[in-house]
Chains A and B, each alone.
Chain A
Amino acid sequence: MKNKQIDFDKRIAGLVSGIEQPVPAKINSRIKLNLEQIESRNSLNSKFLFWLPASVLAAAAVFLLLISPGLQSGVNDHGIKEIRTYLVLKDKKIKILWFHKTNFNLNRRK
């Protein structure tokens, strides 16, 4: 029974393999052209990606140089360590601050 099926399978396999088409040359050339296009696009992208981190770093450095001095508050420039407390006079639109200066000399009277 099993041998019969093997013979049957061999017979079908033989018939199915009876027809074979060659791969058309135009498809092969079309595929090669497409693959070359993909490859060149990929290499272009990888070149761009190589430059991308460097340019991002450069841009970040320029940004820090230009913008960071502007972010620093004027209060720190005067050596104020911390603002201890404050008082708001609402009717006169006045705010009074008590702060601790870093260069405050406690032994000034001596």
Chain B
Amino acid sequence: MSLKPFAPMILSGKKITSRESMFPLTCTEFLNLVAPHQHKLFNFISKALNFSEDADDVYQETLLRAYKYRKNIRKQGSLKNWLFTVGNNEIRRYYNKTKQAGPKEFSGIIEELAAPDDESAKIQDIYEVAAGFKEKWRRVFYLFYYNKFTLREIAGITGIREGNLKFILNQCREEIKIKIRSEF
């Protein structure tokens, strides 16, 4: 298996090449490095956990774990993919620990967050369908549709083969089509 060349990253004005180690990073440097991805990462975790309040803790654990294993950042081609891999594993760990799977009541949160227009009802429908997905499917669903990762990237993040990812996404599409007939 050949290793891809790493994209050079900029850290506090210093260009880091693939041969240099990014370890050790101070916590401020680390936070600056992950800052561009924090928003998307937090929302991915929040959506994958059906807007549960525990998303805050899972997000915090993700960043703490990422900091703990920051020496591996150089080994990943993309910092974003690496962060999402840590986040994905943290969500799995959360579900294994809590054994929570069923959809939660979150319509209030969506009404609060969505702009009051025609789309808000459709948005709510989509999230309700996604909440009924299996936990693994939901992660794949949001990585593909919300975070806009390619299938290859999702395969790297989740460890699921591309063929299986296609199957999962097709199943998700079918469920959406069945449950929201009027729109699609």
Number of interface residues of A (CB under 8 A): 26
B131 at interface, CB cutoff 8 A? no
Give the chain A neighbours of B56 by CB distance below 8 A: 24, 27
Give the chain B neighbours of A34 by CB distance below 8 A: 60, 64
Known: A12-B176, A36-B27. Is A21-B42 also a contact (CB below 8 A)?
Answer: yes
**From A19, which residue of chain B is reached at the shortest CB distance?**
B113
Give the chain A neighbours of B183 by CB distance below 8 A: 11
Judged by DSSP, the binding face of A is helix
Across the interface, do A30 and B68 meet the contact criterion of CB distance under 8 Å?
A: no
Nearest Cβ in chain B — how far from A58, in angstroms? 28
Give Cα distance in the complex from A44 to B94, angstroms.
31
Known: A16-B126, A18-B114. Is A31-B63 also a contact (CB below 8 A)?
Answer: yes
Across the interface, do A35 and B126 meet the contact criterion of CB distance under 8 Å?
A: no
Give the chain B neighbours of A82 by CB distance below 8 A: none
Give the chain B neighbours of A32 by CB distance below 8 A: 27, 31
Interface string of A1-33 (1 = CB under 8 A from B): 000010011011101111111111001101110
Give the chain B neighbours of A24 by CB distance below 8 A: 56
Give Cα distance in the complex from A16 to B48, angstroms.
12
Number of interface residues of B (CB under 8 A): 36
Across the interface, do B123 and A15 meet the contact criterion of CB distance under 8 Å?
A: yes
Across the interface, do B145 and A16 meet the contact criterion of CB distance under 8 Å?
A: yes
Give the chain B neighbours of A35 by CB distance below 8 A: 27, 30-31, 63-64, 67
Give Cα distance in the complex from A86 to B110, angstroms.
97
Give the chain B neighbours of A22 by CB distance below 8 A: 39
Give the chain A neighbours of B12 by CB distance below 8 A: none
Nearest Cβ in chain A — how far from B151, in angstroms? 12
Which of B27, B114, B122, B145 is in CB contact (< 8 Å) with A9?
B145
Which B residues lie at the A interface, using CB under 8 A? 26-27, 30-31, 38-39, 42-43, 46-47, 56, 59-60, 63-64, 67-68, 110, 113-115, 119-120, 122-123, 126-127, 130, 142, 145-146, 148, 173, 176, 183-184
Q: List 15 A-B contacts (CB under 8 A).
A: A9-B145, A11-B184, A12-B173, A16-B142, A17-B145, A18-B119, A18-B120, A23-B38, A23-B42, A23-B59, A24-B56, A27-B60, A34-B60, A36-B27, A39-B26
Which A residues lie at the B interface, using CB under 8 A? 5, 8-9, 11-13, 15-24, 27-28, 30-32, 34-36, 38-39
